Amino acid sequence: MSIYLTFLFYAIPSFSVLILIEMIAARMMGMKINRSSDMISSLSSGLTNTIKDAIKFGFVLVSYSSLVDSMTIYKLEPIWLAAIAAFIVQDFAGYWLHRLNHRVNIFWNRHVIHHSSEEFNLSCALRQSISVTFKFSAILFLPAALLGIPAYIFAILGPIHLFMQFWYHTQLIGKMGILEHIIVTPSHHRVHHAINSKYLDKNYGQILIVWDKLFGTFQRELDDVKPVYGVLRPVKTWNPILINYKHLYQLIKDAWYAEKLIDKVKIWFMPTGWRPEDVNKKYPLEYIENPLKQIKYDTDVSLSLSVWSWMQYVLTIIMMLHMFTVIGNVEPKLGYMYAFFLFTHIFSLTSLLDGKWHSIISESIKIGVAGFLIYSQQYSWYGIEGFLINLFLVYLVMSLVLTYSFLNIEEKNKMENYGV
């Protein structure tokens, strides 16, 4: 098992406990910072990212190992000094990659999922991308390669640096005195996630806030400007897989409709949100012009559907952890198939929260994939046999039936609410 997956085994339960504590604390403080469907969307997004990383899906254009092997000009020692330098390089690179993701159209698709929630709480931290297919961030680690900092330091430091960014996604912690001048705090990151014009495209730092102050992107949280969260072009779905590719889909459409060849090329590399003038006139998009008048996306699901969705989410975690334990002992194609099964499962449960009938299609695909995998493994599921397999098959049928039933019930309830 990789270092990253080992970290996850400890991080997942720890994050879950902290999210629960935040929920309880917010309720005791009389603050409404969570909505059930939004949390399921956020947490499911975290699972899709984790599953993708577990099967190592993606293409590394430049690896740090190749850079350090070919470009070292000085060996920085002792190891503790190399670790400190690695942390500084990691955080510096993180600032610029984060800024790039916000400022360039094509790269915004890699990051929009993280900002898509219209709430701000610890679960939002888990909205991580699955659309990062080509990896090139190692280029930003060139200073470390020149100093001969070993790759294994970043293999350990990377997950730690990522998980250290979890805690400041909260509204429950105010300003933190002198720490506001040194590290990224919840106050700084509330500004970063806000769509208020005063706050937009500010505070890209990940651990140290010094980079924002050096490069002119710092903005403190103002007492008279309450942050409004989300994105200027609302995603209007709970489905994290769709959110991951929503911006890319729009870019493809805009490039197709653009009349000028230069615009078809330019659109990918222009500032985020830029569209060709002719396309913007013919196919206008809905944007939030006044954040203070934001209407949050909501599908007003029933309590029974909410409970069922949480049960489905818990089952996803159990199956994902099982996948972690077996993925190193099976053929790669079986690992990919397990991941695909989990993706269709997440697609279905979040589409059901949206009230979309294509959740029936994804449920049917899920059953087909499961049936193929059980048959190909001689009536077993990655080492699980006997009664549990029969129980699993019953669950698959029940999930399809309940999905169909919930869609009908929720649609009927909405028609009654609107007096149709």
User: Torsion angle, CA of 122/113/208/135, rounded to 10 degrees?
Assistant: 130
| In a domain? residue 228 | no
CA distance 109 to 130: 10
Classified as helix, coil or strand, 400 is helix
Residue 224 lies in a domain: no
| 143 shares a domain with 29 | yes
Structure tokens at 271: 């500032």
Considering only CA atoms, which of 278, 270, 276, 275 is closest in space to residue 287?
Answer: 275
End-of-domain residue from the set 190, 215, 240: 215
- In this structure, the answer to whether residues 59 and 194 fall within a common structural domain is yes
Residue 419 has pLDDT above 60, yes or no: no
Please report which helix (H) or strand (E) contains residue 135, including its range: strand 134-135
pLDDT over 90 (residue 415): no
**33, 169: one domain:** yes
| DSSP one-letter string for 332-368 | HHHHHHHHHHHHHHHHHHHHHHHT-THHHHHHHHHHH
Report d(CA 58, CA 132) in Å as an integer. Answer: 7
Q: Is residue 104 part of a domain?
A: yes
Q: Do 143 and 194 have their domain in common?
A: yes
Last residue of a domain, one of 290, 321, 346: 290
Q: Is residue 233 one of the residues assigned to a domain?
A: no
Confidence of residue 417 (pLDDT cuts 50, 70, 90): low
Residues 80 and 197 both lie in one domain: yes
Give residue 15's Cα distance to chain centre: 15
- What's the mean pLDDT in 88-107? 96
pLDDT at 182: 97
Asked whether residue 159 is assigned to any structural domain, the reply reads yes
In a domain, 128, yes or no: yes
pLDDT of 286 over the 60 cut: yes
- Compute the 3-state secondary structure of the chain and give helix, strand, coil in percent, each to the nearest 5: 65, 5, 35
Question: Domain containing 276: what range?
Answer: 250-290
* Whether residues 132 and 274 fall in one domain: no
Residues 53 and 146 in one domain: yes
* 339 located within any domain: yes
Contact 212, 205 (CB under 8 A): yes
> How far is Cα of residue 66 from the mean position of the Cα atoms in its chain?
28
Q: How many C-beta atoms lie closer than 10 Å to residue 405's C-beta? A: 13
pLDDT at 56: 80
CA 98 distance to own-chain centroid: 14
The count of domains in the chain is: 3
The answer to whether residue 9 scores a pLDDT higher than 80 is no
Tens digit of pLDDT for each residue in 195-242?
Answer: 999 999 999 999 999 999 999 999 999 999 999 999 999 999 999 999
Check whether the bond before 159 is cis (ω within 30° of 0).
no
Say what the pLDDT of residue 416 is.
62
Claim to verify: residue 122 and residue 191 sit in the same structural domain: yes
pLDDT above 90: residue 194: yes
The answer on 313 and 273 residing in a single domain is no
Do 341 and 403 belong together in one domain?
yes
Q: Name the residue with tokens 């870019």.
A: 251
Residue type at 249 in one-letter notation:
Y
Q: How far apart are CA 157 and CA 339, in angstroms?
A: 26
Beta bridge partners, 229, equal 194
Contacts of 355-363 with C-beta under 8 Å, sequence gap 24+, read 355/299, 355/301, 355/407, 355/410, 355/411, 355/414, 356/239, 357/407, 359/403, 359/407, 360/400, 360/403, 360/404, 360/407, 363/399, 363/400, 363/403
Cα–Cα dist 208/309, whole Å: 37
Same domain, yes or no, for 90 and 39?
yes
Of 17-21, 134-138, 244-248, 313-317, the one with minimum mean pLDDT is 134-138
Residue 12 domain-assigned? no
* Number of residues written out for the chain: 420
What is the residue-averaged pLDDT of the chain?
A: 93
Pair 139, 44 in one domain: yes
Rounded mean pLDDT of 270-278? 96
Final residue belonging to a domain, choices 215, 236, 271: 215
Which whole number is the average pLDDT over 368-374?
Answer: 95
Q: What's the burial of 373, exposed, middle or buried (CB within 10 Å: 0-12/13-18/19+)?
A: middle
Does the structure show a pLDDT above 80 at 139?
yes
This prediction has a pTM of: 0.92
